[in-house]
Structure 1
């Protein structure tokens, strides 16, 4: 195997692993297991996945968590903002809409709600 072939094989393997991580994270998010989804998205985001950055941002986004009816999770608008910005820098154009929604939420709710846990439903 040539170095070029080995590099191509390694990249394909890494892309395959990224796909597996994202799929599993999406499944966990759909199941409402935010903590597990967060861990999986974080691992994929460390590999440079814009989609993982968006997924990870959602796990901190109070707008998303409220829309999903998630209870007992600590939203963190600042971390959500950072991950949406990272996704945008990696080329995810849809992250800007999520970031705008979060900015509107921040304007409406101010800083007094930033440290509160979402109420149980």
Structure 2
């Protein structure tokens, strides 16, 4: 890839110049990624709740257990990969490990409690 005039090693440009040319840095997007993850889980939960409540003949509780559990696992893996890729190679790489573990654990507990009590049928 050829950089525009004034960027790159020939022009003495720094990595910050290249960063400005490419776009915003994403390592500070932990909060946004976490918010989107939590919103997607709430949306998944609400969809399963509506299906079980309004269409019980088409969506029995065992299907709700399976759907919510599998979709939660998929969303957690996606969240973990997003945060790990975004913070890779930065000083914040290990900073968010506890937060990631806590958030995923909280979602797992919420899923188990929801499966047990709300969708328990």
Same fold, judged at TM 0.5 (above)? no
Please give the TM-score of this superposition, normalised by the length of structure 2: 0.38
Q: Which has the higher contact order (CA 8 A, sep 6+)?
A: 2
1 or 2, which has the higher helix percentage?
Answer: 1
The higher radius of gyration belongs to 2
Please give the TM-score of this superposition, normalised by the length of structure 1: 0.38
